[in-house]
Amino acid sequence: MRLEYFQLIDRVTELNLADRTIRTEATVPQVSTVFEGHFPGYPLMPGVLLIETMAQSSGWLVVALNKFNRMPFLAAVKDAKFRTFVLPGQLLSVTATLEHDGSGYAVTNAKITSAGKPICDATITLRVMPFPNGEIRQHMCDQAARLGVPSQESAHG
Amino acid sequence: MSTTFDTIANIIAETCDIPRDSITPESHAINDLGIDSLDFLDIAFAIDKAFGIKLPLEQWTQEVNDGKATTDQYFVLKNLAARIDELVAAKGA
């Protein structure tokens, strides 16, 4: 995770297009300016960043399902539940499954676990639109390569 | 058995917290009921699931933007119900 750059996913570990599911991992950094305020002497991963982690994982799933031709944007978060604290250094496993592929939007169910224990979960709605410009699309392709998003040919399904 | 309109009206009432009695077949979802695009995503999701269809929102939006259709054709609820019935019929064909 690079919290200051809002890059919350370290790697994609599985992308199954047939099952419309993605699995990703991320390690919470030991040190971040975020923890200087949240909270002094008791660093905790903010819940909003856990939501963003689930949203980004969902987003990569939607990008892959749309063959890198469309870009998802976070539109709504429902039923978000934070079940336990997340501390610096913790390894997070994220799973997102497509609940519905609508016209111009997608809905996913996402959750985070750590060492097999539930951390948080939510239902996430994304607007799905054409890439606003080529620069963003190239950026997403570069990020996909960094994260190990499988190409269409190697993704299951 | 409830009509398509009744199902839509119930979804809108529940999703947007609008009194069910104020929703009529002549209501325009945007102009009369004040439903914004984000709330309409929730409504579309509920309609898609309830009827097993995929409302072609992007196509409708494009048609309106291109001047080929009016919002009344898709967002006045009796018309929306008719479009849904067409989609359901097409699915079963």
Dump pLDDT digits (tens) for A17-34: 999 999 999 999 999 999
- Interface check for A104 against chain B (CB to CB < 8 A): the answer is yes
ipTM: 0.89
Q: Stretch A83-111: mean pLDDT, rounded?
A: 97
* Contacts of A126 by beta carbon, 8 Å cutoff, 6+ apart: A55, A58, A59, A62, A72, A73, A74, A75, A105, A106, A107, A108
Collect all residues from B whose CB is shorter than 8 A from any CB in A: 38, 41-42, 44-45, 48-49, 54-59, 61
Q: pLDDT > 90: what percent of chain A?
A: 93
A84: in domain = yes
Task: Choose from A74, A79, A103 for mutation: most chain B CBs within 10 A.
Answer: A103
Does A107 contact B45 at a Cβ distance shorter than 8 Å? yes
Does A104 contact B45 at a Cβ distance shorter than 8 Å? no
Hey, what long-range contacts does A138-145 have (CB within 8 A, 24 or more apart)? Answer: A140/A63, A140/A68, A140/A71, A141/A68, A143/A7, A144/A60, A144/A63, A144/A68
Tens of pLDDT along chain B (93 residues) come to 579 999 999 999 999 999 999 999 999 999 999 999 999 999 999 999 999 999 999 999 999 999 999 999 999 999 999 999 999 999 877
Neighbouring-strand partners of residue A112: A94, A120
Query: Cα–Cα distance between A146 and B12 in angstroms, integer?
Result: 43
Task: Choose from A105, A109, A123, A124 for mutation: most chain B CBs within 10 A.
Answer: A105
- Interface check for A75 against chain B (CB to CB < 8 A): the answer is yes
A142: in domain = no
Please state the domain count of chain A.
1
Query: Cα–Cα distance between A125 and A143 in angstroms, integer?
Result: 22
pTM of the full structure? 0.92
A109: in domain = yes
A27: in domain = yes
A153: in domain = no
Does B57 contact A125 at a Cβ distance shorter than 8 Å? no
A98: in domain = yes
CATH number for the domain including A57? 3.10.129.10
Q: Stretch A60-72: mean pLDDT, rounded?
A: 95
Superfamily for domain range B4-92 = ACP-like (1.10.1200.10)
Identify the CA nearest to B30 among candidates B67, B60, B75, B74. B75
Does B49 contact A125 at a Cβ distance shorter than 8 Å? no
Does B41 contact A100 at a Cβ distance shorter than 8 Å? no
Who among B38, B49, B55 is closest to A103 (CB)? B55
Which residue range(s) make up the domain with A103? 3-32+42-134
A145: in domain = no
A62: in domain = yes
